[in-house]
């Protein structure tokens, strides 16, 4: 399960090596990591309703792995944003968080 969840990392690394990240590679990686985090977190949250609705047990066994993968991608998204996009400049990061509502929402969700 976890190995399958790490396939997007290999795909992103392959694109980076081949120069296939587009005109703005930082934005591409930030968007992709954020989307992957969202997909894995929502998939993890869907396991219990699937189990209850269809009365099968296998989705419950996936919940932890999907949640951890989602958190891993969210942490990579935040880390990439802080290190690469903002250059670890806390003043610029704070300004960005306070001025842009979607970044405020994302920071609150991560915390």
Q: Give dist(CA 12, CA 25) in Å, integer.
A: 11
Q: Give dist(CA 110, CA 103) in Å, integer.
A: 10
For 49-104, the pLDDT digits (tens) are: 988 889 888 888 899 999 999 999 999 999 999 999 999 999 999 999 999 999 99
pTM score, whole prediction: 0.89
Res 13: pLDDT: 92
For 16-35, the pLDDT digits (tens) are: 999 888 899 999 999 999 99
Q: Give dist(CA 76, CA 71) in Å, integer.
A: 8
């Amino acid at each position: 399960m976890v190995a399958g969840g790490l396939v997007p990392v290999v795909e992103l690394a392959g694109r980076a090596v081949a120069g296939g990240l587009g005109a703005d590679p930082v934005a591409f990686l930030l968007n992709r990591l954020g989307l992957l985090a969202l997909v894995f977190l929502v998939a993890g949250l869907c396991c219990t309703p699937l189990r209850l609705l269809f009365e099968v047990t296998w989705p419950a066994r996936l919940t932890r792995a999907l949640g951890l993968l989602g958190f891993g991608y969210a942490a990579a998204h935040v880390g990439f944003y802080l290190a690469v996009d903002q250059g670890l400049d806390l003043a610029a990061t704070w300004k960005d968080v306070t001025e842009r509502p979607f970044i405020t929402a994302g920071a609150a969700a991560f915390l």
